[in-house]
Amino acid sequence: MYAMFLLKPPIDFDEAAYLAAYPEIAQAKADRIFDTGWQHFSVYGWREGRWRGLKPLANPHNGLPVPSPHLRYRIHGAVEPMDLCRVGNFNANLISEVIRTRMGSTENLRVLDFGCGCGNVSSALAFMNPGLTVYGTDIDEEAIRWCRDNIGSVVHSVANSALPPLPFEANFFDFIYCVSVFTHLPEDMQFAWLDELKRVLKPGGYAWATFHGENHVQGNFAQYREQWENRGFVYDTRFPTEGLPEFYQTTLHHPRYIEREWSKHLHVVEIKKMACGQGDFAHDTALLHKAD
């Protein structure tokens, strides 16, 4: 998992400063237990919170700070920073286009990133669309603290509980998006949040969410094909995420299930296969509408 990361340290990792800050690691290097301080950091140091010797990285797309490695790992399953920035920028471009198409412009709109994590998409979206007022919410209080401290100039970030409500009045947002959030929620929690998103969405507003569709029903998840085909919803508890609650697992949705079940909460306008992301593990997307 770390091979790429080991080969290619980000330019902001300061080898000499890291070894000076942690003499025991310098000694381990001298004893040939590690080849470099970078090798130690990429396997152990980031988990142990050894941040000395690291300069904050800047996102090459917008100059904003890049989250620390364990926060990157939590939302992305990898610590490599530049790929995360690329994905955030890609998704923000995609969402900008959906907003422009559906809302007619990206001016004077309130937008919510529900399940924003450490603001990888919300910060990129706000940076590329100064006419949007972007809010982010998440259960991950550490990630929200990071957002407030580091990207507070472009995104308003608030922690929420695992279950509704959100701290916003009804009909507050013009547009809501959720990147890889419903991909992790148990079924009842999913319905509770669809109702809550409907509550805070303005009449006439749109919500857009990604889900794991057919291309995910393979490899580790191939055994669920029948359940996915027949029941339409799978909640697989084999892969918990360190730092997030136990309910946070992996879900798979059949588009028929989205049409049938999500439309009980919001009107399902459009489902697109593999529309969010690049490569084999792109997510399907659902565009939802709240009637006027």
Q: Are strands 267-276 and 233-236 parallel, antiparallel or unpaired?
A: unpaired
Closer Cβ to ligand SAM, 19 or 118, answer by number: 118
CA pair distance 85, 260, nearest whole angstrom: 35
- Whether residue 56 contacts residue 72, with contact meaning beta carbons closer than 8 Å, is answered with no
Closer Cβ to ligand SAM, 25 or 197, answer by number: 197
Binding marks (x or -) toward ligand SAM, 244..273, rule CB under 6 A? x---x-------------------------
- Check binding of 140 to ligand SAM (CB under 6 A): yes
CA pair distance 58, 61, nearest whole angstrom: 9
Question: From the CA atom positions of the chain, what is the Rg in Å?
Answer: 20
- Check binding of 151 to ligand SAM (CB under 6 A): no
Q: How far is the CB of 263 from ligand SAM (least distance, A)?
A: 21
Helices (DSSP H) in 63-158: which residue ranges? Answer: 69-76, 81-103, 120-128, 141-151
Question: Which residues, including other chains, have CB under 8 Å from residue 46's CB and lie 6 or more apart?
Answer: 68, 69, 70, 73, 79
Q: How far is the CB of 254 from ligand SAM (least distance, A)?
A: 20
- Check binding of 138 to ligand SAM (CB under 6 A): yes
| Amino acid symbol at 201 | L
Closer Cβ to ligand SAM, 39 or 137, answer by number: 137
Q: Residue 18 is inside which H or E element, if any?
A: helix 15-21
Choice from 39, 120, 123, 129 touching ligand SAM (CB under 6 A): 120
Binding marks (x or -) toward ligand SAM, 8..47, rule CB under 6 A? ----------------------------------------
The number of CA neighbours under 13 Å toward the Cβ of 114 is 30
Closer Cβ to ligand SAM, 14 or 236, answer by number: 236
The residues binding ligand SAM (CB under 6 A) are: 75, 115-117, 120-121, 137-140, 143, 160, 162, 179-181, 184-185, 244, 248
